[in-house]
Structures are given as C-alpha cells and as structure tokens.
Amino acid sequence: MKALKVIRSGPLASIQDQGRFHVRHLGVTQGGGADWVAMTWANWLLGNPSSAPVLEVTFGGLQLQALHPVTLALCGADLDAHLDQQALAPGHVFSMQRGQCLSFNQPRQGVRAYLAAPAGFCAPLLMGSCATVSREQLGGLAGDGQILSQDQLLMWSGEQPAQCRQLPDAARASYTSEPQLDLILGAQCSQFSGFSLFQAFNQTWQVDQRADRMGVRLTGPKLQCSISNLVSEGIPLGAVQVPPDGQPIVLLNDRQTIGGYPRLGALTPYAVAQLAQLMPGSQLRLRPICLEQAQRQHRRLLNQWAD
C-alpha cells in the first residue's frame, strides 16, 4: 500500500492545499497552507502542481512510518525532523524505505513544516479544496475538518518523480531574525490618530500567545481609532483589525469571513507567510507598502515557480 501510517499524531498536523476560493459569500472561509510559500516550494521540489495537497506540521510531535518506498520533500520550519536516527534538514528531497520512521520533534526555527508526496496526498475535495478547517468541519483526510490522528493512513497516487529539483539558495528562509512585514494601508487608516500611525510603523510588535490559524494577536503600543461603530464587511487574508483595546489582530487562513473592527490595512501574501512562522514571543515590525509595490513583489514570487 502506498501510504504513510500515523504512529504519533502530534498536536496540529493537517492536510492543506491552496485553499477554498469563491465561497466566502456562503460564509465559508479560505483555509489552506498558512506559509503558502514553503508549501509551494515543497510541491515544486517534486514537480507537483502547486495545488497538490500537502501535510502541514505545526510545532512537531508527529511520527510517520512508511508502508511503501517513497520520495518526499520537506520545506518550511526546522522541527528537528529525523528519518529513523538521521537528522533531516528542511528544503530537501529525501527517500523513505518501507518500515522507516519520519519524526518531527519540536521547533528549532519556525513553526510550520510542509511535507509533500508524489502528486500530493489523497483527500476528498469539498468546494474545490481538501484544506482542513476544523472550525467549519471541512477538509482533511475524511472531509470532516479533523486534524491527523493516530493510525490514519496518508496515501498518495503519484509515481516516484523521475527527477527531483534542488531548492535555490535564495529560497532558503531564515526564521531567526526580526522580520519587517509589509502592510497595505486600508480604507480606515485615516481614522487612526497620527501618533498611532507613527507608533504602528516605528515600534516593535510582539506575537502574543493567542495565535492560531484564525489569527495572530500582536501586543505593543495601543492604537487609537476614531471609529466606534462599523458595519461588518468582508475580511481578506492578512487583514489587520484593531479592536477597542488597541492591540492589532492579523487574520489568517481560517479567519471569519466578515468583521466589524476598523482595519489598519492588510499584510501582503508574503508577509502572511512570514508571520505564520513566528513563535509566540517573537518580535516583528510593520512596514507600509503601496499596492503597486505589493503586486510587483507578488508577481516576482509567482515567477519563481513558472517553470
């Protein structure tokens, strides 16, 4: 059987792909890989389509056993992965023989690692995606939104890749430095005081313990906005909402579809991927960027995988 068996499930391991689109008018959120850049590189290494389902491993604690020889790719965070007793660094293609065990222990750099299999792991499509969103009970191996559990089988349908790729040096991410996250200012930014805007972009923010796939709370200077009541509106990926306590919340893949807090703006897609790899307690800075700059940045990213 072409499968990996889950020996130890870990706290947060789930099947993800690029997510669900064109369904937010139904109240269904996006889902998908939180660090979509690392996820895409993992698929690229095996020659998979960028939409191929992968395994997102958060914080480690996962152990898998091969029931069939397979070539896999690992990208993203360094979760102290080992193939049997041999250390395995992210950003590489590797082979598992039948009976070998792949284990993810605990974070050394970053939070989320991505494991890709030939042609992607098998999972049912629901609304065009197999992305796991536990809150909505959608996606995953059984389509019910559950994270991986012990004794489940991760199957794949593809053949061994004839030729594997090598990750470019420029694509090897470092999760140790204090990142600057690019933010596109939103329609309500003019309602924040001038001093709050100065603080937002000139002081350090810290990732709070309250961080998950729905959103990440940042702690730092208290931002003040003149808007007290706001009609709920659609929420994009990376939206930076500011509730009455003045501490921003960055909304991620499993966010609600509408919200009524004023928004400072939205992180760029690349900045969202960077944020998804930050441990609670990590520090960051926000940097304003215009829409045209953000679009150029995004096109450069996509062009890396054009071949």
Check: CB of residue 175 under 8 Å from CB of residue 77. Answer: yes
pLDDT digits over 208-247, tens only? Answer: 999 999 999 999 999 999 997 788 999 999 999 999 999 9
Task: Report CA-CA distances (Å) from 31 to 19, 135, 151, 213, 236.
Answer: 5, 10, 25, 8, 12
The residue extents of the domains of the chain are 3-171, 180-303
Q: Is the pLDDT of residue 62 over 80?
A: yes
What separation, in Å, do the N-terminal and C-terminal C-alpha atoms of the chain show?
A: 32
Give the per-residue pLDDT at 171.
84
Place of tokens 């065990």: 101
- Residues of the chain with pLDDT > 70, as a percent, come to 99
Check: CB of residue 192 under 8 Å from CB of residue 264. Answer: yes
Arithmetic mean of pLDDT, 254-270:
95
Check: CB of residue 20 under 8 Å from CB of residue 87. Answer: no
Give the per-residue pLDDT at 307.
66
Give the per-residue pLDDT at 163.
74
Q: How many CB atoms lie within 10 A of CB 229?
A: 6
pLDDT digits over 110-149, tens only? Answer: 999 999 999 999 999 999 999 999 999 999 999 999 999 9
The domain 180-303 is classified under which CATH number: 3.90.1150.10, 2.40.100.10, 1.10.10.410, 3.40.50.300? 2.40.100.10
Arithmetic mean of pLDDT, 87-100:
96
Least Cα distance to 93 among 159, 37, 166, 157 occurs for: 166
Arithmetic mean of pLDDT, 11-36:
95
Angle value at C-alpha 277, between 274 and 280, nearest 5 degrees: 115
Q: Using a cut of 0.75, tell me whether the model's pTM lies above it.
A: yes
